[in-house]
Amino acid sequence: MSAPLPQNAMPLAAVIGDPIAHSRSPRLHGHWLARYGINGHYIPLKIAPQDFAEALQMLPRMGFAGANVTIPHKEVALALADHATPLAKRIGAANTLSFTENGIEADNTDAYGFTQNILSQHPDWQPKTVAVIGAGGASRAVLAALLDLGATEIRLSNRSPQRALDLAAEFGPAIRAVAWDERSTALADCDTLVNATSLGMQGHPALELDLNDLPQTAVVNDLVYAPLETPLQAQARARGNPCVDGLGMLLYQAAAGFERWFAHKPEVDETLRQAVLAP
């Protein structure tokens, strides 16, 4: 079990990954710390997989209240935690850790971030028939969120078909694996389309997807936020679909951890978006 946070310590938190230099989380949390006049720090930590377990034991002893966890540590973080929320267990990964007197407490706020990002722009959004592209770690949080929102059919397509089949078997009958070469025709009658792959990200090829069968009323959400408007979003926006970029998911998933570690509920607004997007 991890040591409790020292009394009267300056609050510290971190984001742990490998690599980590690209992360915008320090800028995000730094904006909140300055905005609310909190005398704390949030720092990026590049920790290799073989050092991760040891680092988790050391951080609370060094005064850290908690940490965000990103690639490639999310699944291991869940396994190493002393306690985990039911949602984190269901998703199979943790992205938010709190170091308390009861040990390491793990949560996954990605599902919340995904949901709040879309609802903040489309308050009446009620997904029922959804197409999800990608069956990686981000997709797991998306699937959990969609099911909790009442989605009755989720058409899941992945370049490696077995991963989609595995997730469908794990998450239940509402998930239907769709062959990669049928991903475009699977858009028919969908009210929501989610890209949960890295396709469209800077340095990656674009997601090749024919939107002709997608209703123009369908919400299109790309989890990629660099660039802010991906080729998929540009294509969808040009045909009239309401679009939601991926930045909001990052912002909303961060809020829960910030409140736990720094004892202040932060606001997600346009000022924050501009601070995170600033060059």
Nearest CA to 188 out of 146, 153, 158 is that of: 153
Rounded distance between C-alpha atoms, residue 247 and residue 54, angstroms: 31
State the helix-helix crossing angle for 110-121 and 247-262, rounded to 10 degrees.
120
Rounded distance between C-alpha atoms, residue 190 and residue 207, angstroms: 18
Q: Are strands 96-100 and 175-178 parallel, antiparallel or unpaired?
A: unpaired
The residue written with tokens 């802010």 in the block is 228
Q: Tell me, what DSSP letter sits at residue 108?
A: -
What percent of the residues of the chain are helix, what percent strand, and what percent coil, each to the nearest 5? 40, 20, 40
Q: Evaluate whether 68 touches 256 at the Cβ level (below 8 Å).
A: no
> Which contiguous run of DSSP H or E holds residue 31?
helix 25-35
Rounded distance between C-alpha atoms, residue 134 and residue 140, angstroms: 9
Tell me which residues are annotated as active site. 74
The residue written with tokens 């736990």 in the block is 260
